[in-house]
């Protein structure tokens, strides 16, 4: 892969970009997309501002100025896009994908085809209506822009052609033949959306957004006074309950809308040659491809709200997945949104070409009582230390803090102990067939099934307190997924023997220091 900036280059970068040499340009309909978006931004920001700040100026004159400003903004932005389009070309050669762009600072970049790991297609509502997609060609390396090429306005047919041409079509891995559709959207899965962590976050965001927008229009005090007037005769505790309920309801509505936008028309398919393809999205359509030969396992993710109703999300553990920083909710690893746990296990088996999912068949080795004791002590410290601090401040300052400390301890202590016991109960690890399985977590429980051949190293960590308790933390290092998966607070002797047996020959040379008596 090469990335050169400047007005010149060497080697292949100096080839003249003639159309008959295989060079292609971005689609001209991208100009319409730019003009429409900028016009919407100009009108969306300018009209409310003009209405709220006209002063002595006639409203018609203010709106006319907004229209002129919007036209100038759209014209300038479209002109810039036109110049960029004229100066942007790409071509797919036998060995490399080349990309040239820039006017004053010319960038000439290329990716070796054997290093390409992903070709993802994304299209917002407006580009999709015009038959356009954005194509991201990536190597899966975490080196910023140098590892990706982005073509932001090509025809959908061209995007599909690039995807089919650039992704390696290796023979399918051995296992049951299950090509075609593996999973489709069940509208009933939307019931899990309000149980995710997104709902309270969106509720708080909605409340903060309301105050911010009202402040922009100079009406924040009026909004606060209006709410206070409605709750004037309501006791303080019930007022808090009403406000939290309102924010929660807004969060639920937001979570339902976000889920619909992300997962509408969801399909998971296995294409001939061994490529998994996820397609989804309502306003913005997304297509993510994962080559099976780069798949190292799967991960079941169970946030506590979803887990309480027997559901789980399924993620891929694979090398070479792209990371989209511009689209905050585009998770390229997710194969299945929150769905019934039994279906998630069944889909995991289909994805891995196994008769039964390792996440279901593995008999996890429980961790010792010392692991539970560590979590209980942490829970007690997390609640009692702040409560003690509040109590001391209450003795020094005001009795109100004493009541706050007592209520906090009475409410939070049982909850913290329940979570600590649940976290200890969730710890476990095992090997089943070709997979290493590890489970941990309480607020977000994860169960990973990782191919033992995909483990490239072990990290052994033991703190002073772990050493005294006879515990150890083992982290399996892999080039896929999160890069490392931990087995926390396992029994020292059993954990080391497990790691040595799971991946023979990798850990044995380093075992002696840990097996010596402390």
Ranking 313-327, 360-374, 487-501 by mean pLDDT, the lowest is: 313-327
Token pair 């483990």 in the structure block, residue: 455
SS (H, E, C) 67-118: HHHHHHHHHHHHHHHHHHHHCCEEEECCCEEEEEECCCCEEEEEEEHHHCCE
Percent of the chain whose predicted confidence (pLDDT) is above 70: 86
Q: Report the pLDDT averaged over residues 345-365.
A: 93
Using the predicted structure, report yes or no on whether residue 75 has a pLDDT greater than 70.
yes
Kindly report, residue by residue over 417-428, the tens digit of the pLDDT. Answer: 999 999 999 999
pLDDT at residue 13, rounded to an integer:
35
List pLDDT tens digits, range 393-426.
999 998 889 998 999 999 999 999 999 999 999 9
Q: Please say if the pLDDT value at position 178 is more than 70.
A: no
Q: In what order do the strands lie in the sheet with 275-280?
A: 148-155, 132-138, 118-123, 285-291, 275-280, 267-271, 180-184
Question: Which residues are within 8 A (CB) of 510 and not within 5 positions of it... i.e. 6 or more apart?
Answer: 460
Distant-in-sequence, close-in-space partners of 331: CB < 8 Å, separation ≥ 6? 315
Cβ-count burial of 474 within 10 angstroms (0-12 exposed, 13-18 middle, 19+ buried)?
A: buried
| HEC readout, 276-305 | EEEEECCCCEEEEEEEHHHEEEEEEEEEHH
User: Looking at residue 54, what is its pLDDT?
Assistant: 57
Q: Using CA atoms, how far apart are residues 181 and 276, in angstroms rounded to an integer?
A: 10
pLDDT of 476 > 70? The answer is: yes
pLDDT band at 175 (very low <50, low <70, confident <90, very high): low
What backbone phi and psi angles, to 5 degrees, belong to 58?
Answer: -60, 145
Whether the predicted pLDDT of 11 surpasses 50? no
pLDDT, mean of residues 470-479: 94
CB 135, CB 150: distance < 8 Å: yes
How much is the average pLDDT of 164-173? 66
Least confident of 48-52, 334-338, 467-471: 48-52
- Record the tokens describing residue 343, joined without a space: 């279906």
Mean pLDDT of the chain: 86
What tens digit of pLDDT does each residue of 245-296 get? 888 999 999 999 999 999 999 999 998 878 899 999 999 999 998 888 889 9
**What pLDDT sits at residue 282?**
93
pLDDT tens track for 298-323: 999 999 999 999 999 999 999 877 55
Element housing 409 (H / E): helix 399-426
Interacting residues of 262 by C-beta distance below 8 A, sequence separation 6+:
280, 281, 282, 329, 337
Contact assessment for residue 469 and residue 370, using Cβ atoms and an 8 Å cutoff:
yes
Start-end of H helices in 432-479: 464-469
Rounded to 5 degrees, what angle do the CA atoms 435, 436, 438 make? 135
Predicted local distance difference test score (pLDDT) of residue 306: 95
The Cα 278–Cα 268 span in angstroms is: 5
Cβ(442)–Cβ(259) below 8 Å: no
Among 209-213, 272-276, 459-463, 495-499, which stretch is predicted with the lowest mean pLDDT? 209-213
Per-residue model confidence (pLDDT) at position 323: 54
So what's the pLDDT on residue 170? 53
Residue 205 pLDDT exceeds 70 = yes
DSSP assignment string, 215-260:
HHTT-HHHHHHHHHHHTTTS-HHHHHHHHHHHHHHHHHHHHHHHHH
pLDDT band at 198 (very low <50, low <70, confident <90, very high): confident
* Paired residues of 445 in beta bridges: 302
More confident residue, 101 or 329: 101
Q: Residue 56 has what pLDDT? A: 59
Q: How far apart are CA 379 and CA 334, in angstroms?
A: 31
Distance from the Cα of residue 309 to its chain's centroid: 22
Position 463 scores a pLDDT of 94
Q: What was the pLDDT predicted at 17?
A: 42
Tens-digit pLDDT profile for residues 116-137: 888 899 999 899 999 999 999 8
d(CA 50, CA 41) in angstroms, rounded, equals 14
Q: Which residues contact 295 (CB under 8 A, 6 or more apart)?
A: 276, 316, 317, 318, 351, 352, 480
Query: How far is the C-alpha of 199 from the C-alpha of 249, rounded, in Å?
Result: 9
Asked if residue 458 lies in contact with residue 507, where contact means CB atoms within 8 angstroms, the answer is yes
Distance CA 126, CA 143 (A): 31
pLDDT value for 167? 82
Residue 214: count other Cβ atoms within 10 Å of its Cβ: 16
304 or 109, which is more confident: 304
Rg (CA), the chain: 28
Nearest to 459 by CA among 502, 512, 506: 506
Tokens of 299: 């991960």
pLDDT of 297: 96
Lowest mean pLDDT among 272-276, 373-377, 429-433, 468-472: 272-276
3-state secondary structure (DSSP) of residue 483: coil
């Amino acid at each position: 892969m090469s990335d050169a900036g400047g007005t010149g280059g060497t080697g292949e970068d100096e080839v003249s970009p003639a159309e008959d040499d295989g060079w292609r340009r971005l689609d001209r309909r991208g100009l319409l997309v730019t003009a429409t978006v900028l016009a919407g931004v100009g009108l969306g920001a300018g009209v409310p501002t003009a209405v709220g700040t006209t002063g002595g100026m006639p409203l018609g004159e203010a709106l006319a100025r907004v229209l002129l400003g919007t036209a100038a903004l759209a014209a300038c932005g479209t002109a810039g896009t036109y110049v960029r389009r004229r100066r942007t070309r790409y071509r797919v050669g036998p060995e490399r994908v080349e990309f040239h762009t820039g006017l004053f600072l010319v960038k000439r970049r290329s990716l070796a085809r054997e290093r390409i790991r992903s070709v993802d297609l994304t299209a917002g509502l407006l580009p999709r209506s015009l038959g356009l997609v954005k194509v991201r060609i990536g190597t899966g390396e975490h080196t910023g822009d140098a590892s990706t090429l982005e073509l932001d306005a090509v025809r959908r047919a061209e995007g599909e052609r690039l995807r089919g041409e650039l992704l390696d079509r290796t023979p399918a891995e051995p296992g049951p033949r299950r090509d075609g559709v593996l999973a489709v959207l069940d509208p009933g899965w939307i019931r899990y959306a309000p149980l995710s962590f997104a709902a309270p976050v969106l509720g708080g965001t909605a409340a903060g957004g309301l105050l911010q927008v009202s402040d922009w229009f100079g009406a924040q005090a009026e909004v606060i006074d209006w709410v206070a007037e409605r709750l004037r005769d309501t006791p303080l505790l019930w007022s808090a309950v009403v406000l939290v309920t309102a924010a929660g309801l807004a969060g639920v509505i937001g979570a339902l809308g976000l889920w619909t936008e992300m997962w509408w028309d969801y399909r998971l398919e296995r294409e001939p040659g061994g490529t998994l393809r996820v397609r989804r999205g309502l306003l913005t359509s997304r297509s993510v491809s994962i080559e099976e030969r780069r798949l190292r396992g799967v991960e079941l993710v169970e946030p506590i709200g979803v887990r309480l109703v027997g559901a789980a999300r399924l993620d891929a553990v694979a090398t070479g997945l792209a990371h989209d920083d511009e689209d905050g909710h585009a998770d390229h690893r997710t194969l299945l949104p929150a769905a019934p746990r039994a279906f998630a296990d069944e889909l995991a088996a289909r994805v891995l070409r196994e008769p039964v999912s390792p996440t279901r068949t593995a008999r996890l080795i429980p961790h010792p009582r010392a692991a539970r004791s560590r979590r209980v002590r942490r829970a007690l410290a997390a609640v009692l230390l702040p409560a003690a601090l509040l109590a001391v401040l209450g003795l020094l300052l005001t009795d109100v803090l004493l009541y706050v400390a007592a209520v906090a301890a009475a409410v939070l202590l049982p909850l913290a102990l329940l979570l600590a016991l649940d976290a200890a109960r969730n710890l476990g690890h095992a090997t089943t067939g070709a997979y290493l399985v590890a489970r941990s977590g309480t607020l977000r429980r994860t169960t990973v099934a990782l191919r033992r051949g995909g483990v490239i190293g072990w990290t052994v960590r033991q703190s002073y307190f772990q050493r005294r308790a006879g515990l150890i933390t083992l982290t399996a290092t892999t080039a896929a997924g999160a890069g490392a998966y931990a087995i926390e607070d396992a029994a020292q002797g059993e954990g080391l023997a497990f790691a040595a047996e799971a991946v023979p020959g990798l850990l044995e040379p380093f075992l002696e220091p840990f097996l010596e008596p402390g």
